[in-house]
A and B are shown apart, each in its own frame.
Chain A
Amino acid sequence: MSSNPTVERHLEGRYKHGFFTDIEADSLPPGLDEDVIAAISARKREPEWLLEWRLRAYRKFLKMTEPHWAHLEIEPIDLQAISYYSAPKSDKDKPQSLDEVDPKLLETYDKLGVPLHERARLAGVAVDAVFDSVSVGTTFKKELEKAGVIFCSFAEAVHDHPDLVRRYLGSVVPQHDNYFAALNSAVFSDGSFVYVPKGVRCPMELSTYFRINAAETGQFERTLVVADEGSYVSYLEGCTAPMRDENQLHAAVVELVALEGAEIKYSTVQNWYPGDENGKGGIYNFVTKRGDCRGDDSRISWTQVETGSAITWKYPSCVLSGDNSVGEFYSVALTHNHQQADTGTKMVHLGSNTRSTIISKGISAGHGQNAYRGLVKVGRKAENARNFTQCDSMLIGKRCGAHTFPYIEVQNPTAKVEHEATTSRIGEDQLFYCLQRGISEEDAVSMIVDGFCKQVFRELPMEFAVEAKALLEVSLEGAVG
């Protein structure tokens, strides 16, 4: 175990979602200007106010520069080389039900294991599937409607629930929040919208499955989840993309709003194509996710398992505005081969008696670089704020890196902020201990890693936890030696 060839062998697991679906697509030519934005808006038959909203964002975007503070090496991104809209052609006559959805699309989801049809019913999961830029089918709509829950594509929400969209869009992540959020605000194509009315406990887990299919397209989805007073919703998000040599940009924005006494649980399993073992290709995953605990006694919980993407840049955050509100962040980030991740969270305590918990598990293998970056901020008026942060890194092999950048800003003397951090190497000792009991090296590695991530996995809904565990195993094949 002192040399690395065995580790390498494990790590050479193949990306299993790297297939491409040959479907006629209606795409805009590459390039970005106000005409392109107008064209996107027109394709989606958007109201005037939204086009104006986009254009305002675009003008702000033009004054901004790409951020380079993260611990990442990013090849220059040519925004003019990207097509900002790609839809399966059949979208022109928008399918009214799943039966009208192009069978090839359904086949794609089948390969991905998205239970769009009966399997969904059995699993009790409502799926809104986003394929490149449009939402292809939302299951379980009727059943959700009965409970009063709105779960639809973002584009539909713009048409059917314009007041809600107008009230909350950009209210958590302002247009000019950061470079990529501004870009998204200008060109976002589709995404999901959820509204859970007062006092309603959403009867099932809601799920969106994103997939980037067309070449040279970016995916800029926009998700907005609003939980009205005293409601509860659990939302799952999974992501995959085909294997390509070029880098593809994914710049999403997710906004969560929890009103008084509401709770939102948002879980992500991200498995975008990570590039090959030499670091060629892969998704640039530059995502802005933020939740606002706007009402008192509200709670927002982020759980993420990040195994994919060439570069991950994301910090799902909570703004704890309401008194007694709670923010949580549970994260597993795995980088292998030449993957890089700079991820973490921001917990901004504004209300009194607000609490936050951060559990971050970073795993680096191969040449992978993994950074945790987190901010805990306690505002002047946040009496008795509490934060607990635990940040653990695991290194597999000798060429990878783990980095921790915790920032703590406290403006109220009653705050209690705890930070614990550890870094460990999958020890030869641990490995030998398993081997000596008869357990193979491969099983030992996945067992040790799984144990390392346990605190996070148990926050995931059951089926997702199983998927996450399997994903980690695949991603780690050949990781120890």
Chain B
Amino acid sequence: MGPNGSGKSTLGNVIAGREGYQVTKGRVEYLGKDLLALEPEERACEGVFLAFQYPVEIPGVNNTYFLRAALNARRKYHGEAELDSVGFLKRVREKLEVLHIGDELLHRAVNEGFSGGEKKRNEIFQMAVLEPRLAILDETDSGLDIDALKTVAEGVNRLRSPDRSMVLVTHYQRLLDYIEPDHVHVLAGGRIVTSGGPGLARRLEEEGYAWLEDGGIAEVAEAS
């Protein structure tokens, strides 16, 4: 969590390897590997997944086709055989069932004409199929009505597992009404300024960021 401009999305983008960011200091070690030395697609194949704040539309490219290409790229990277369409569809249907998502997503082009809620659900669905080791969900709750929020939260809860780390980037407690976090970290000015349990999020909701004894943070919070 953290006020606008505190670096939450930046952190996600840097980890995923988006262009336009320069790492001036520090390193990112991930499962014993230097993550920053890898290309974005290699990071993805190593199990890093970024659920986008604004999922991108790719007109004319079928969602199923896209996902299969993604999954097979990953399998190829790990020296595994590619899944044929039968095997792939089986897997996809399993995931849809677990997430209680209808299969209409499968027939449409990637995010094309999707509502905000559908886009976010599609991100969760992709995450389920790709089974990442580290998932960063960048403001997945933003712009969602309460029903969509519940679906997304439910999806996240079902995908929680000891083999998977998840980082939720959010402004609001309301997502955390449905997802109980293990840890809450507050980011400000590009640094983690405080950490705690679920109670920390509730306090932030009630009191804002101003109570944190850092003048800089308070200013940023007000400005936003």
Closest to A2 in B: B19
Closest to B39 in A: A435
Contact with B along A190-209 (1 / 0, CB 8 A): 00000000000000000000
Tell me whether A430 is interfacial, beta carbon within 8 Å: yes
Query: Is there an interface contact between A433 and B126, defined as CB atoms closer than 8 Å?
Result: no
Query: Is there an interface contact between B20 and A2, defined as CB atoms closer than 8 Å?
Result: yes
A434 to B69 CA separation, bound complex (whole angstroms): 9
Which of chain B's residues have a CB closer than 8 A to the CB of A432? 18-19, 40, 56
Known: A1-B19, A2-B20. A451 touches B61 (CB 8 A): yes
B171-219 at interface with A (beta carbon < 8 Å): none
Give the A-B contact count at a CB cut-off of 8 A: 81
Tell me whether A441 is interfacial, beta carbon within 8 Å: yes
A432 to B55 CA separation, bound complex (whole angstroms): 11
Known: A1-B19, A433-B55, A451-B109. A439 touches B70 (CB 8 A): yes
Closest to A429 in B: B56
Query: Is there an interface contact between B70 and A433, defined as CB atoms closer than 8 Å?
Result: no
Query: Is there an interface contact between A437 and B126, defined as CB atoms closer than 8 Å?
Result: yes
Known: A433-B56, A450-B61. A438 touches B73 (CB 8 A): yes
Query: Is there an interface contact between B50 and A436, defined as CB atoms closer than 8 Å?
Result: yes
Contact with B along A239-282 (1 / 0, CB 8 A): 00000000000000000000000000000000000000000000
CB distance from B65 to the nearest CB of A (A): 8
A447 to B17 CA separation, bound complex (whole angstroms): 21
A434 to B63 CA separation, bound complex (whole angstroms): 12
Query: Is there an interface contact between B40 and A436, defined as CB atoms closer than 8 Å?
Result: yes
Closest to A457 in B: B60
Q: Tell me which of B45, B56, B60, B110 contacts A438 (CB under 8 A).
A: B45
Tell me whether B16 is interfacial, beta carbon within 8 Å: yes
Contact with A along B1-21 (1 / 0, CB 8 A): 000000000000000111110
Interface of A, secondary structure class, is helix
A427 to B45 CA separation, bound complex (whole angstroms): 22
Tell me whether A311 is interfacial, beta carbon within 8 Å: no
Q: Size class of B's contact patch? A: 20 to 34
Tell me whether B41 is interfacial, beta carbon within 8 Å: yes
Query: Is there an interface contact between B41 and A438, defined as CB atoms closer than 8 Å?
Result: yes
CB distance from A319 to the nearest CB of B (A): 31
Query: Is there an interface contact between A443 and B69, defined as CB atoms closer than 8 Å?
Result: yes
A443 to B61 CA separation, bound complex (whole angstroms): 12
Contact with A along B26-41 (1 / 0, CB 8 A): 0000000000000111
CB distance from A116 to the nearest CB of B (A): 33
Tell me whether A448 is interfacial, beta carbon within 8 Å: yes
Q: Tell me which of B41, B58, B71, B110 contacts A441 (CB under 8 A).
A: B41
CB distance from B125 to the nearest CB of A (A): 12
Which of chain B's residues have a CB closer than 8 A to the CB of A427? 56
A2 to B20 CA separation, bound complex (whole angstroms): 8
Closest to A437 in B: B70
Q: Name 19 A/B residue pairs within 8 A (Cβ), A-sorted.
A: A2-B19, A429-B56, A432-B40, A433-B52, A433-B58, A434-B70, A435-B40, A436-B40, A437-B69, A437-B70, A438-B41, A438-B70, A438-B130, A439-B73, A443-B69, A451-B59, A451-B61, A451-B110, A454-B60
A residues lining the B interface (CB < 8 Å): 1-2, 427-430, 432-441, 443, 447-448, 450-455
**Shortest 4 CB-CB contacts between residues of A and residues of B:** A451-B60, A451-B61, A454-B60, A437-B70
